[in-house]
Amino acid sequence: MYPQLLLPDLKEMLAEDDKAGLAEFCDVLYPPVAAEVLAGLPAEDVWRVLENCSLSRQVEIFEFFDLAKQIELVDKLDRKRLSRLIEEMSPDDRVDLLNRLDSDRVENLLPLIAQAERSDIRKLLSFPEHSAGAIMTTEYASLPADISVREALERLRKQAPNRETIYYVYILGDDRRLEGTVSLRELILAKPDAKLADIMRRDVISVRVDDDQEHVVQELGQYDFLAIPVVDSQNRLVGIVTHDDVLDIVQEEADEDAYRLGAVQPLEDSYLETPLLTIAWKRGVWLVPLMFAAVVTAFVQLQYEGVAEEHLWLGLFVPMVIACGGNAGSQSATLLIRALSLRQSGSFRGAGVIARELLVGFSLGIGLGLLGFLLTLLFVAPEHAMIVGSTVMLVVVMGAVMGAMLPILFERLGMDPALMSNPLVASLSDILGLLIYYNVAVLVL
Amino acid sequence: MYPQLLLPDLKEMLAEDDKAGLAEFCDVLYPPVAAEVLAGLPAEDVWRVLENCSLSRQVEIFEFFDLAKQIELVDKLDRKRLSRLIEEMSPDDRVDLLNRLDSDRVENLLPLIAQAERSDIRKLLSFPEHSAGAIMTTEYASLPADISVREALERLRKQAPNRETIYYVYILGDDRRLEGTVSLRELILAKPDAKLADIMRRDVISVRVDDDQEHVVQELGQYDFLAIPVVDSQNRLVGIVTHDDVLDIVQEEADEDAYRLGAVQPLEDSYLETPLLTIAWKRGVWLVPLMFAAVVTAFVQLQYEGVAEEHLWLGLFVPMVIACGGNAGSQSATLLIRALSLRQSGSFRGAGVIARELLVGFSLGIGLGLLGFLLTLLFVAPEHAMIVGSTVMLVVVMGAVMGAMLPILFERLGMDPALMSNPLVASLSDILGLLIYYNVAVLVL
């Protein structure tokens, strides 16, 4: 599929105002493909295309635009058209959109939206960001336990058109309490006269509405489910989270972790769609504290002015020595942050990890220290090169251990370990590295 | 669910050799939950539990262990039992396992495996790692186009037990050519007498068997599919990739990108399961070249020995000045590497990006340069602080632009942009940063 190839045709149809052609474009293409082609047009033109098809089709296509494009598009709609669109959207997608709109605008819109949808929106908007409640959809298929498989299939047929998935069916008791699940595959395989109560699975894996989205990802990922039910504190079913939303979250979280590791505040849109000033701001908030950390190195060097002036060659190797600590530290921090993230946590003993890093640090330190010694021989006498070599060794051990300790410490304090970015680890190891270097020098010289 | 709570019971049953209890454990629990509990036992005990249930149940549970545990477990099996297990496993999971076993051992096993399974294994093993062919499964549901919906449902019922999914059905023509798809939902909603040819979707989105797995992730993610068909060069269906495998790949690729960014060769198992020597090796291969890059800084400083000795205060600010470049560079590299990864590529113009980074770099550089000037005033006279401040500004611009350029360059050369790790960017910007610093100093002093 080469969606870009369709764009010229579409532009021609727009220029000729070929309504029949535009209607066909919307109706025949897969909605995600249509969205991809339309994303190349300005907002006004997107609506000129979409207004030729049914509202439900418009919404199907609209939901495949990324959030930034959706926001651009709704800016062109009056309140009335926007409220129709919101009504028709699936519950989870519309809450994502409303969360990004001005809250005055949302309050202005809500009165125009049908009662049932409005209370659904208010409910979903009330869940904290990144909770299971905020990412779930309320359009699940549910049935009572006391009907036959034949009747279940009959009822599912009626529910199907406005359910996000009918492949998992949730069996609800009194007060919407979640009693079991059955998959469409099981229904197809079961005898038509069997009762759902007899074929349903009763040990249901579910998440709580206030669980963090990372927990939802973990559970759905571990069990290979298509969807996972979300319940409240009384085990009443309130929604489901589907596999496609989990996939989006995993990618979002990976982006966030990567940004944090690089000392950038996570972006909400893609890099190219984020305004320059926002990017500068999201970087500046980290660069400024890092600058204050960096200035500490000048204070440290001032303390050792005496030995540095007496042995001017020491200065030659300052950048090299501190780089070694920063590199080893970045590696450990990266390994630990990934290990603490989504999947590998659980059986984690901080002390054991530090011991591991100490061992790895020593084996790497000895190798690099030797290499450092040999390379320094190009510049200075062996007794001086010894100082550089042993500093490299100690600095690598220090970097490895510190890079591992800090993310664990952040985790223990209830903070995101990924805040311990590579540049931050490097800054701290610069300071400690200098202290080690000058102390070794003072000791030996 | 608290799987850990079940472990003591299980150990007791093992101690008492309570075969009925062990059989119930395997049969009643969800396979992933059973696997999670069993993972806490040594390999021999896992088999003592599993041998109490049917082979198909054993395999269901076995497939939920992570690869490292699977390998540990198969080491305890003789050839005959192992070959039965392999036969029963799903095609994609068994190929993942075989890929990690000794190739002699695999060749030894294959003769014991049934003909049909054996040729399937040989075929899947022949695809290059990380290609669609290597991650697909061959257990898909397929039907001809000329049958009715009623008959289709009848036939699906028969196929269901050994298909990975029956929610998407692939319609095949002569020679297994992929002609269309229909979902089980559409089948349930359609009139029983309708022909598949009339209700199937003909513009099928598929991937080629030699496509990279990143492309598979992109397509399935974009279209929110449960599974995506894999075809050969003649559009013949050869397999499908399902949503749960894609989720695993996304997490794997996020791990790999993060490791590369931190200058660690990607690990195959989790951090805690990787032997210490392997970790040391995967870090050392990066630390050694980084050390050679670092020693260049000593050469640079040697070139400017004159000015450095004449103005000893210059040395105080070397670590601070070069840290600023490294930080700005790490940020740009991180942003670009994420932007070039999975989802944001496409409309990427290198020159535009460099221009953006130049602008962002200048705005950050001016702010940080000013801050640097003010902080340096704590140590030296204003005319000297000016040198440091303007160096900080230039170094930040240099770091921002270089951090953006290098990943783009790597991408153009067909290499993974994530190889441009934060420590590598920092090393290069150390060198350039020193050159800038001393040249500004020479110019002014």
Task: Please give the average per-residue pLDDT across A124-131, as a whole number.
Answer: 88
CA distance A417 to B168: 40
- DSSP-derived pairing of the beta strands A168-172 and B207-208: unpaired
User: Is B366 at the interface with chain A, CB within 8 A?
Assistant: no
pLDDT digits (tens, 9 = 90+) for B25-49: 888 888 888 898 898 899 999 999 9
Whole-number pLDDT of residue A345: 47
One-letter amino acid at B256 equals E
User: Is A335 at the interface with chain B, CB within 8 A?
Assistant: yes
CA distance B157 to B140: 13
Whole-number pLDDT of residue B414: 82
CB B439: neighbour CB atoms within 10 A? 14
**Rg (Cα) of chain A, in Å, rounded?**
30
CA distance A250 to B247: 8
Task: Please give the average per-residue pLDDT across A37-48, as a whole number.
Answer: 91
Closest CA to B394 of B441, B352, B356: B441
**Exposed, middle or buried, A7 (CB in 10 Å: 0-12/13-18/19+)?**
middle
Residue B32 φ/ψ, nearest 5 degrees: -65, -30
CB B260 within 8 A of CB B333: no
Among A338, A364, A434, the residue with its CB nearest the CB of B283 is: A364
Whole-number pLDDT of residue B445: 83
One-letter amino acid at B127 equals F
Structure tokens at A194: 């069997």
CA distance B406 to A78: 45
Structure tokens at A139: 């359009």
B190: pLDDT confidence band, cut at 50, 70 and 90?
Answer: very high
Structure tokens at B226: 């449960």
CA distance A170 to A176: 10
- DSSP-derived pairing of the beta strands A237-242 and B140-143: unpaired
One-letter amino acid at A196 equals L
User: Is B272 at the interface with chain A, CB within 8 A?
Assistant: yes
Among B203, B342, B427, the residue with its CB nearest the CB of A323 is: B427
Kindly list the residues from chain B whose CB atom is less than 8 angstroms away from the CB atom of residue A298. Answer: 316-317, 319-320, 376, 379
End-to-end Cα distance, chain B = 71
CA distance B17 to B116: 38
Q: What is the mean pLDDT of chain A?
A: 90
Nearest residue of B to residue A341, measured between CA atoms = B255
pLDDT digits (tens, 9 = 90+) for A369-412: 999 999 999 999 999 999 999 999 999 999 999 999 999 888 88
pLDDT digits (tens, 9 = 90+) for A81-102: 999 999 999 988 998 899 888 8
Q: What percent of chain A has pLDDT over 90?
A: 59
CB B415 within 8 A of CB B380: no
CB B71 within 8 A of CB B62: no
Supply the DSSP string of B335-395, one letter for each residue.
HHHHHHSTTT-SS--HHHHHHHHHHHHHHHHHHHHHHHHHHHTTTS-HHHHHHHHHHHHHH
- DSSP-derived pairing of the beta strands B140-143 and A207-208: unpaired
User: Cβ contacts of residue A420 below 8 Å, gap of 6+?
Assistant: A333, A337, A406, A407, A410
Structure tokens at B351: 């020159």
Distances (CA, A) of A86 to A97, A213, B297, B357: 9, 24, 59, 37
CA angle B310, B316, B322 (to 5 degrees): 110
In the numeric block, the tokens 């409240």 are attached to A232
pLDDT digits (tens, 9 = 90+) for B46-65: 999 999 999 999 999 999 99
In the numeric block, the tokens 């153009």 are attached to B412
pLDDT reading at B399 higher than 60: yes
CB A329 within 8 A of CB A399: yes
**Rg (Cα) of chain B, in Å, rounded?**
30
Is the Cβ pair A167, B184 closer than 8 Å? yes
Whole-number pLDDT of residue B278: 92
pLDDT reading at B358 higher than 90: yes
DSSP state of A265: P
The whole model's pTM is what? 0.82
Whole-number pLDDT of residue A342: 53
A103: pLDDT confidence band, cut at 50, 70 and 90?
Answer: confident
pLDDT reading at B160 higher than 90: no
B342: pLDDT confidence band, cut at 50, 70 and 90?
Answer: low
Secondary structure element (H or E) that encloses residue B242, with its range: strand B237-242
CA distance B315 to B320: 10
B281: pLDDT confidence band, cut at 50, 70 and 90?
Answer: very high
pLDDT reading at A4 higher than 80: no
String of b and e for A186-205 (b: at least 16 CB within 10 Å)?
bbbbbeeeeebeebbeeebb
Whole-number pLDDT of residue A347: 56
List the beta strands (DSSP E) in A104-211. 141-143, 168-172, 178-183, 207-208
Alpha-carbon A238 to chain mean position: 24
CA distance A189 to A181: 15
Q: What percent of chain B has pLDDT over 70?
A: 98
CB A31: neighbour CB atoms within 10 A? 18
Among A261, A284, A295, the residue with its CB nearest the CB of B261 is: A261
pLDDT reading at A258 higher than 90: no
Sign of CA dihedral A280, A286, A287, A289: positive
Whole-number pLDDT of residue B2: 60
Q: Helix (H, G, I), strand (E, B), or coil: what is residue A172? A: strand
Is the Cβ pair B331, A286 closer than 8 Å? yes
pLDDT digits (tens, 9 = 90+) for A171-188: 999 999 999 999 999 999
Task: Please give the average per-residue pLDDT across B3-28, as a whole number.
Answer: 87
Kindly list the residues from chain B whose CB atom is less than 8 angstroms away from the CB atom of residue A295. Answer: 320, 375, 378
pLDDT reading at B4 higher than 80: no
Among A153, A254, A308, the residue with its CB nearest the CB of B315 is: A308
Task: Please give the average per-residue pLDDT across B385-394, as a whole number.
Answer: 96
Structure tokens at A243: 């596999």
Is the Cβ pair A29, B203 closer than 8 Å? yes
More confident residue, B420 or B135: B135
Nearest residue of B to residue A191, measured between CA atoms = B157
Is the Cβ pair B262, A257 closer than 8 Å? no
Q: What is the mean pLDDT of chain B?
A: 90
User: Is A286 at the interface with chain B, CB within 8 A?
Assistant: yes
Task: Please give the average per-residue pLDDT across A105-128, as a whole number.
Answer: 88
Is the Cβ pair A264, B335 closer than 8 Å? yes
CA distance B118 to B162: 17
pLDDT reading at B328 higher than 90: yes
In the numeric block, the tokens 């959809």 are attached to A137
Kindly list the residues from chain A whose CB atom is less than 8 angstroms away from the CB atom of residue B250. Answer: 247, 250-251, 254
Is the Cβ pair B344, A270 closer than 8 Å? yes
Residue A237 φ/ψ, nearest 5 degrees: -70, 125
End-to-end Cα distance, chain A = 70
Structure tokens at B231: 């075809």
pLDDT digits (tens, 9 = 90+) for A149-172: 999 999 999 988 888 899 999 999
pLDDT digits (tens, 9 = 90+) for A187-217: 999 999 999 999 999 989 999 999 999 899 9
Distance from CA of B263 to the nearest CA of A (A): 6
B102: pLDDT confidence band, cut at 50, 70 and 90?
Answer: confident
Task: Please give the average per-residue pLDDT across A411-428, as a whole number.
Answer: 86
**Exposed, middle or buried, B115 (CB in 10 Å: 0-12/13-18/19+)?**
exposed
CB B340 within 8 A of CB B417: yes
Distance from CA of A20 to the nearest CA of B (A): 21
User: Is B317 at the interface with chain A, CB within 8 A?
Assistant: yes
pLDDT reading at B345 higher than 50: no
SS3 content of chain A, % helix, strand, coil (to 5): 70, 10, 25
Q: B 235-254 residues with CB below 8 A of A? A: 243-244, 246-248, 250-251, 254
Structure tokens at A200: 């349903």
CA distance B223 to B217: 10
Task: Please give the average per-residue pLDDT across A21-43, as a whole number.
Answer: 88
Is the Cβ pair B248, A302 closer than 8 Å? no
CA distance A240 to A388: 60
Task: Please give the average per-residue pLDDT across B232-254, as a whole number.
Answer: 91
B382: pLDDT confidence band, cut at 50, 70 and 90?
Answer: very high
pLDDT digits (tens, 9 = 90+) for A328-376: 999 999 998 888 875 444 556 778 888 999 999 999 999 999 999 999 9
Q: Helix (H, G, I), strand (E, B), or coil: what is residue A290? A: helix
Supply the DSSP string of A342-407, one letter for each residue.
TTT-SS--HHHHHHHHHHHHHHHHHHHHHHHHHHHTTTS-HHHHHHHHHHHHHHHHHHHHHHHHHH
CB B258 within 8 A of CB A338: yes
Whole-number pLDDT of residue A442: 93
Kindly list the residues from chain A whose CB atom is less than 8 angstroms away from the CB atom of residue B323. Answer: 290, 294, 297, 423, 426-427, 430
Mean pLDDT lowest for which of A159-168, A273-282, A341-350, B154-163?
A: A341-350
**Exposed, middle or buried, A136 (CB in 10 Å: 0-12/13-18/19+)?**
buried
Distances (CA, A) of A130 to A96, A263, B96, B242, B278: 11, 21, 33, 26, 36
- DSSP-derived pairing of the beta strands B140-143 and B165-172: parallel
Whole-number pLDDT of residue A349: 73
